[in-house]
Amino acid sequence: MKAKPRGAYASSGVDVNAADKIKKSIAQLASSSFNPSVLNFGSFGSAFQFQGYNEPILVSSTDGVGTKTRIASLFNKHDTIGMDIVNHCTNDILCCGAKPLFFLDYIAMEKLMPLQVEAIVRGLAQACIENGCALIGGETAEMPGVYREGCYDLAGFIVGVVEKRTIIDGHSIAPGDIVLGLPSSGLHTNGYSLARKVFGIEDDPSPLNKVYPELGKPLGEELLQAHLSYYNALKNVLPSIKGLAHITGGGFEGNVPRILPQGLAVELRKSSWEVPPIFKLIQEKGDVNETEMYRVFNMGIGMAILCSPEEVMNLTTTLPQAKIIGEATRAKGGKTVIIS
């Protein structure tokens, strides 16, 4: 059988040599997030040791940043996308009271672009450092024929730990408990398919460079604001909290009920916080009704905290950015989130 010429794989769209170079760069960036618990990196699996817990419960989560990657590609800004996925996953396990331990990523694209990948991983490593966890592994896949040119996907996987007796699961939430809201930095990582449609970005990406007066910056910069992590703000007050809801896809209705005991609901007051201009701009430009806006977007609240009335003063003093946005009540008519 005639041997394939050298470079046959590269000619089919996959450049192994380029991938190897990128992996070396990734290893250097990832190592900046290491701590003494990282025992192995770069083999077929990564090893991590943790200690200091009596009854440790591992908490894991996985997610992606959705079509926000398309905005990053069209605007050619990739440094915040890595931060998005780390912070998103950190918030998810924080809702159980968990401390993040380590993170792994998956980047897939049509053709490996070294500068693009490096910017993404730099954001991953930075967010891991800020959240006190280690970027201990991942995968970078070159997939011609699956992804179109200039497009990529980014997913993340996080593992954290919490002492069994301190798990936050919402079981003690009762009528009269208060809902506090922590502000988001914008869309975070949800609703980008609708945003892209509203601004017609896919057909003409030029609006990304437009400076809307209400935003005070190019639309692309606003849409690529990094998803906030609430871990450092909340880690020291977790014992005062009964429940946490990360407001992501599905808005309040899709997320708050996940932590409510059966038979309870929350009543939220829209007037209690200021909706950021980007949401108002999307609603007006896309002629989107308000109900759908609250169903798709976080509308300026990235994390909802449920606590007893007695803890409100303590929490709002520690968290000056937190606002009282509602309270827990008995469910009526099967509806668990009432926004008025």
What residues contact residue 150 under an 8 Å CB cut-off, 6+ apart? Answer: 73, 110
Residue 15 reports pLDDT greater than 90: no
Q: Which residue has the higher pLDDT, 279 or 27?
A: 279
Burial class (CB in 10 A: 0-12, 13-18, 19+), 55: exposed
Q: How confident is the model at residue 13 (pLDDT cuts 50, 70, 90)?
A: low
Q: What is the pLDDT of residue 225?
A: 98
The amino acid that residue 38 corresponds to is V
| Bridge partner residues of 138 (DSSP) | 105
Average pLDDT value for residue range 181-189: 98
Would you say the pTM of this structure is higher than 0.85?
yes
Task: Name all domains of the chain by residue range, CATH numbers in brackets.
Answer: 13-166 (3.30.1330.10), 178-339 (3.90.650.10)
Q: What DSSP letter does each residue of 94-116 carry, written as one string? A: HTTTPEEEEEEEEEEESS--HHH
At 45, the pLDDT band (50, 70, 90 cuts) reads confident
The pLDDT > 90 percentage for the chain reads 79
Binning pLDDT at 50, 70 and 90, where does residue 17 land? low
Average pLDDT over residues 238-258: 97
Residue with tokens 């192994």: 16
Cβ-based neighbours of 286, under 8 Å, separated by 6 or more: 194, 197, 198
pLDDT of 47 strictly over 80 = yes
Mean pLDDT confidence for 34-61: 85
Backbone angles phi and psi of 60, in degrees to 5: -125, 160
310: pLDDT strictly greater than 60: yes
Residue 266, pLDDT > 90, answer yes
pLDDT tens digits for 190-220? 999 999 999 999 889 999 999 999 999 999 9
Q: What percent of the chain has pLDDT over 70?
A: 92
Q: What share of the chain is helix, strand, coil (3-state, %, to 5)?
A: 35, 25, 35
Q: How many CB atoms lie within 10 A of CB 271?
A: 7
- Report, as an integer, the average pLDDT of 154-174: 97
The residues that bridge with 155 in the sheet, in sequence order, are 64, 106
pLDDT of residue 262: 96
Question: Stretch 158-165: mean pLDDT, rounded?
Answer: 97
Instruction: Identify any residues that bridge with 141 across adjacent strands, giving them in sequence order.
Output: 108
pLDDT for 1: 45
- Select the more confidently predicted residue: 42 or 69: 69
Per-residue tokens: 306? 């449920």
